[in-house]
Structure formats: C-alpha cells, structure tokens
Structure 1
Amino acid sequence: MRVRAAVLREMGHAGPFAHSKPLSVESLTLSPPGNGEIRVRVLAAGLCHSDLSVINGSRPRPMPMVMGHEATGEVVELGGHVRDFAVGDRVVFSFVPMCGHCLPCASGRPVLCEPGAAANAQGQLLESASHWTDDSGQPLLHHLGVSGFAEYTVVSARSAVRIDADLPAEIAALFGCAVMTGVGAVINTARVQSGESVAVFGLGGVGLSALLGAHAASAWPLIAVDVVEEKLALARRLGASHCINASHGDAVAEIRDITSGGVEHAIESVGSEAVLAQAYAATRRGGTTLTVGLPAPGRMFSVPAVSLVAEERTVKGSYMGSAVPSRDIPRYIDLYRAGRLPVDRLLTHRLKLDDINEGFDRLADGTAIRQIIEFDT
C-alpha cells in the first residue's frame, strides 16, 4: 500500500529545521505484515528528544529511516500466527520489541531484550527486515521498531499493547514513551516511597512525567529544576513543592539547603553528563541518582569513587522506565483516568505531518513539551 511518512535520509542537519528540512514527507510503499507482525493505522504520534537526537546525529542510527517511536493506532491487518490482537484493536507502541525468551526477558527485565535491542540498532523489526521502499526501490529502515511518523506502519506484535478504544489518541500516544519512561523511572526503577525527597532535573515530556509519578507516589519535598521559567511554572501546577531555575544560581546548593543535605532520589532527564553530575552532587548520603537521559555515546560521567562506598551512594540507569509495557501502560492509563496522572497537561501543540520540521524546532529550543502529530481519521 502507499503511505505518507516522514523520512530521515541523513543525520546532522543544522537548525532551524524549518529551513534545513531534515525530515521529508514522502509517499512510500509499505508491504504487508509477515508472521508475528501487524499493520496499524497510526492515529497520533509524539515528538520526542529521542527522535531529535537521531536527527541531529547525537544518537547515530543507520539511514535512511522512517522516524517516530511514540505513537498509537488501530490494527487493520494481522500477519500469520498473530493470536493476541484482532482487527479494530487500539494499541500503543512499545519502542523495544520483546522476544520473551532471552535472559533479560526471562528475568523480568524485558526492556533489555537482546534480540529487540539488536533489531532496533539495525533498523529492523524483530521478525523481519524492512517493510518500507521508496519510489526508486530503495529499502528504508524502521525507527525503534515503530516508524510512527507515518499514516500506516507495520510492527512486530511484540511492539504493541492493547488499550481501550475510548482513550483519545492524542493522550494515548503519550503513554508509549514519555509517560512509560518518566513514571516508570520513579515507580519501577527508583521505587520512590511516600515522604521521600525527589529532585527532577529537566522538565521535558519525560522529566515532567517523572514529576507526575513522584507526585502520585507522595514524594516530599518534590523539587523541579530547569532553565525555562514556563516549564517551572507548569511543574509547580503539577505538584512540585519547589522550583529552581538552574541558570539563576547554584541549583545544587539550593537543593541541599531545602533538604538539609540532599535529596534521596535525584532524576536526570536531560541527556547531559554535566547535568547528571549536578544531580549526583544534589543526592544525599545513602541516596540514589537516576538517569533517564540519553547523551551522545562518547560522553563520559565521573564521580568521586570513594563516595560510592563511604556514603553508600547509588547511580542507576532507567531505560524505558524499567517497564513491562503490557503491565504498565494499562496501569498508568488507569491512574490517568483516576486523575492521579494528568498527563494531558503535557500536551502543548497539535500539528500535521507536513509541519514536523517546525515541530522539532520548538522541541530543540525548549518552547514545547509534548507535540502530537494528528493523522486524519
């Protein structure tokens, strides 16, 4: 079938993207799903810093590629041997396909699925190579097993989680990355308990989702750190007890003063080793510094080695919120419906596929939190 999709043919374009246009909206051929795969009509897709890091080249991927990984849609066709879905099901995509058989999957850590990670690195699906070809016959690759910036896509059935059909698509898409990653970091990885102190460094979609998760867990004090006043104001409305503009002074000193020595959990969501060092410095003795950001592969992070022992400090990474998507996405949606996770307040812009480059300009300059591409239904 013919499908309009946003294609990245090379990385490293300079902004503004509205002028350099790294993403071209093209008409492509999408082949039918194979065994274990499903074809999905995409209803909504979110713009995420993980997409931006591929566009600007800080997170290298093979090219050319149909981009997008945070999305939701409706199943329109089943490949062979698919038993867990039916045509008409609404789904949210999981950007790590999970084989269910490797050691991490069998150990209850499916976001570390080894075949899934290998497929993502190669731009392929778990069961097959590419389903995309352009008008010259050139194959195009899949971004994180999803390629959600397209009217239709083919994914592994292991990259989809069924959801209720009445959840608005522009809200459902957020659960595929921002919410799953941020809330999961708090609940699954850090395991924040009521009354424990939390600081969140970086208030994009993932950072604000982490703040929402910490607020739902009754963290106190709950400290938000950023350099954009509008994001700090939103964080306060979403439950932050203290907001610190890191460009106006010593954020670490302020946090240590507020908490009499540092927070029990510091969460870094910027993808910067310098900000991660700040988060570590703001963590108290016996505390945990958690990072969910993705810096460029060559970036290095160092800490005083003695503090790990003498202060019983912990540094942890959290990928995709340490999630079990089939368990966590429905659970977080239930929390949203109950008013405990008002993730709809993260949505700042709605746009069409043709406006995607302008959307990434807003993401890059910090004037947007979550932008959703809405496809015609």
Structure 2
Amino acid sequence: MRSAVLREQGATRPYAVSRPLEIESLGLAAPRAGEVGVRIERASLCHSDLSVVNGSRPRPLPMALGHEAAGVVEAVGEGVDGIAVGDHVVLVFVPSCGACRECRSARPALCSRAAEVNGSGELLHGPSVLTDGAGDPVHHHLGVSAFAERAVVAAESLVVIDRDVPFDIAAMFGCAALTGMGAVFNTAEVRPGQSVIVFGLGAVGLAAVMAAAQIDDVTVIAVDPNTDKHELALRAGANAVATPDGAAELVAGLTDGGVDVAIEAVGSARVMAACLELLARGGALVSVGLPHPEQELSVPALQFAGAGKRLLGSYMGDASPARDIARYVELWRAGRLPMELLHTDTVPLAEVNESLDALADGRVVRRLFVPSAA
C-alpha cells in the first residue's frame, strides 16, 4: 500500500521543492492479537505532523506520518472485542493500555505505555508492521501512520462511530476535537459565566472556541495574528476577536480584571507568558500547543502563589476518547459544533508536501487527504 514516508527531518522550505515526504509503496503485515486493520478514508494534516517534518518533535526515522484519520475496519486480530469488519472508526493517537498508573487514575490520555511506544515508533502490542521496498522496518507515527491507504493499529487506537457521520467530519474528531474541546471541558472545566481567551486559531484553537461557546453565559475571546481566521472564530462562537497586539485592550473592556481561562494553542513560551498576564486572580492558563523542546518559560513566580494563578498542561485534551468522541459527535449532530468550519478542503495524498507549506503559512485550517487518490 502507498504511504507518505519521512526519511530526514529539518528539510528547508518551501516543502513543495525540498519534498521531505515521499509516497512509497510499503509492506503492511496482517493484524496481530489485539490489532485491527483499517482502510483509511480520510486523513487530516495537523501541526503535530509539521512539527515532525521540521524537527521540532524528534522521532525515529524512517517514519510513516499521519495521526488524525477515519476509516473502515477491514480485518480484526485475535482477542479484539467490540470492533467488527465494516465498522466506521475514528483513529486516536494515544492507545491507552488500561493498566499503567495513569490509566488506572482515569487519565488515559497520559498513558505511560502509549507514550513509550509512540516515542519509539512501535505499536501498543508489538514492533512495527511496516516495511519499505528493501524489507527494512518503517516506524509508525503515534501508533497510527494515517497518511496511507491502510493502517494496522492497536484496537485501543480506535473508536467506533455511526456510519452516517461523513469521513471528512469524522477524521477531525481524533485530534483537533479531542485536544481543543477537551482543554475546555476536561482540563479547565470552564463553568457558566466565566470568560475564556483562546490564542491560536488553527483547528485546535477553533475547536476550543466551539467548546467554550457551548457553556452558558461564557464570554469567548479569540486571538490570532492572521485576520483571515477571525471570521471563522466568530462563526465558531467567539464573542470578540483580536490580533495579539489588541488582546489586552479587548480583555480589559470585556472582563472584570482579566479572563478566567486562557487557552494557549500556539506552542510558544512567549505566548504562554502573555496569557498569564491576561488572567484574573485565580485564573488558569491551559497549555495545549507543543513548543519546541528548547523553549523555556520565564515568568514572575509570584503570579502563582501571590495571585492564585494556575498553569495546566493538557495533552489530547485530557480525553477519554470513547466517551468524549461520542459526546462531541452528538453535539455536532445537534448543530452545536460546526466542525465543517475546520475543514478547508480535501485533496489527494500526492499533494502532501505542498500542503505542509499551506499549513505552515496559515492558509489552511484542516486539509484532508484521500489516501486512495495518492
């Protein structure tokens, strides 16, 4: 089957010229015990994919990229219950083991076993099942490797959904929705009457805006230097929009002494520091974006004990995927989550390198690929 493979990180831009991802023909083994074979119908391009390409997120190479997708089950390995051939599924990039300390503490998004295998490029139930034309192993990206016609994944990486959910919508529930909405609902636990500011209006940030807008009497402020995204934020439910330079003035005019919750979906220590300054006493900053590993946060320490401010990390929105995806699908079905706003367009997988440029330039929110049209 065909797959987009990265063999070297740190390629120069434009990616349309350097072409860091190559469409290769890979061997894919049959599902082992605990695994499932999936035909990928749609795969989304996310900043986490771009972070692997540009070297911000070091990963073992070669690696078949892609971690946000939806598809149809084609084969089921021994010992898998609750998943059948023909099921429509959303793929999830943290396959919780159910046995580690984090999973036992009802925090499956922080599964330590999943973190280990995701970092090594393996699967939850064994080593890579991907091989290149020379017969050498190819690593999996976050247990999914969705920029491909097919994938074999741990059963724990799948959530079965109703067949009437379009694949263009379903694919975005596996990362953008879980991460952005979960930051609001699970990590910050935003309450009615509070105020929320979201920095960064990519798919994750816009999903956070949508989530906050579901809560009664919440004031939602959306911030991005790209003014083209402001209209999207307003349609997603924001009460007001601003560029970063105008954020402080907007907060002063719409809140009583600062916002209750700030969602940082940029991946920048500088933006995190700016968010802390906009918080009211007792407010919470939720860090969602993935800064480069070398970035460090330097802020006045007295903001925490002196003003009661909190800094909360949120990985995959502190999600329980089976529970949360079902909830978000129902909100979408009821017309309350306009997921369609995140979907910029759908293109063949062959356009993956050009799409990296479009994402890096902020010209797309969620571009989806049709792997069968590679």
For this structure pair, what is the TM-score category when the shorter chain's length is used for normalisation? over 0.9
Cross-structure match for 2:95 = 97
- Which residue pairs with 2:356 in the alignment? 360
The total of aligned residue pairs comes to 373
Mapping of residues 1-377 of structure 1, within 5 Å: 3-218=1-216, 220-246=218-244, 249-376=245-372
Q: Which of structure 1's runs of 4+ aligned residues deviate more than 4 A?
A: none
Q: TM-score, normalised by structure 1?
A: 0.97
**Cα shift readout 1:189-213 (whole Å, capped 9, x = no counterpart):** 1011111100000000000000000
**How far off its partner does 1:250 sit?**
4.6
TM-score by length of 2: 0.98
- Mapped to 2, the partners of 1:376 and 1:122 lie a distance apart of 27
Contact kept in structure 2, 1:5 and 1:149, CA below 8 Å: yes
* Deviation at residue 27 of structure 1 after TM alignment: 0.8
- The SS at the match of 2:283 is strand
- How big is the alpha-carbon RMSD for the aligned residues of Structure 1 and Structure 2? 1.1
Separation in structure 1 between the aligned mates of residue 349 and residue 321 of structure 2, nearest angstrom: 27
Q: What SS does structure 2 have at the residue aligned with 1:148?
A: coil
Instruction: Report % sequence identity.
Output: 50
Paired amino acid for 2:20: P
1:33–1:79 Cα contact (<8 Å) kept = yes
Cα distance in 2 for partners of 1:259, 1:19 equals 47
Q: Name the CA distance, whole Å, in 1 between partners of 2:32 and 2:217.
A: 46
Unaligned runs of 5+ in 2: none
Match of 1:351, SS? strand
Query: 1:238, CA displacement in angstroms?
Result: 1.8
Q: Which amino acid aligns with 2:96?
A: M
Deviates more, 1:302-311 or 1:91-100: 302-311
On the 8 A contact 2:93/2:174 being kept in 1, the answer is yes
SS of the residue corresponding to residue 234 of structure 1 reads helix
CA distance in 2, matches of 1:218, 1:119: 40
* 8 Å CA contact 2:147, 2:371 repeated in 1: no
Q: For each residue in 1:208-251, what CA deviation from the matched residue of structure 2 results, as whole angstroms up to 9, or x when unmatched?
A: 000000001235321010001110121112221111112xx352
1:324-348 Cα offsets, whole Å, 9 max, x none, are: 0011111100000001111111101
- Contact between 2:222 and 2:238, CA under 8 Å: does it hold in 1? yes
Structure 1 unaligned spans of 5+: none
> Do 1:201 and 1:225's aligned partners in 2 also have CA atoms closer than 8 Å?
yes
After TM superposition, the structure 1 stretch with the greater mean CA deviation from structure 2, 216-225 or 166-175, is 216-225
Greater mean alpha carbon deviation, residues 50-59 or residues 79-88: 79-88
Partner SS for 1:195? coil
Deviation at 1:138? 1.2
Please tell me whether the aligned partners of residues 196 and 264 of structure 1 are also in contact (alpha carbons under 8 angstroms): yes
Q: What is the distance in 2 between the residues matched to 1:327 and 1:156?
A: 18
d(CA) in 1 for partners of 2:38 and 2:279? Answer: 44
Contact 2:257 2:280 in 1 (8 A): yes
Instruction: State the 1:252 CA deviation.
Output: 2.7
Which amino acid counterpart does residue 136 of structure 1 have in structure 2? A
Contact 1:145 1:156 in 2 (8 A): yes
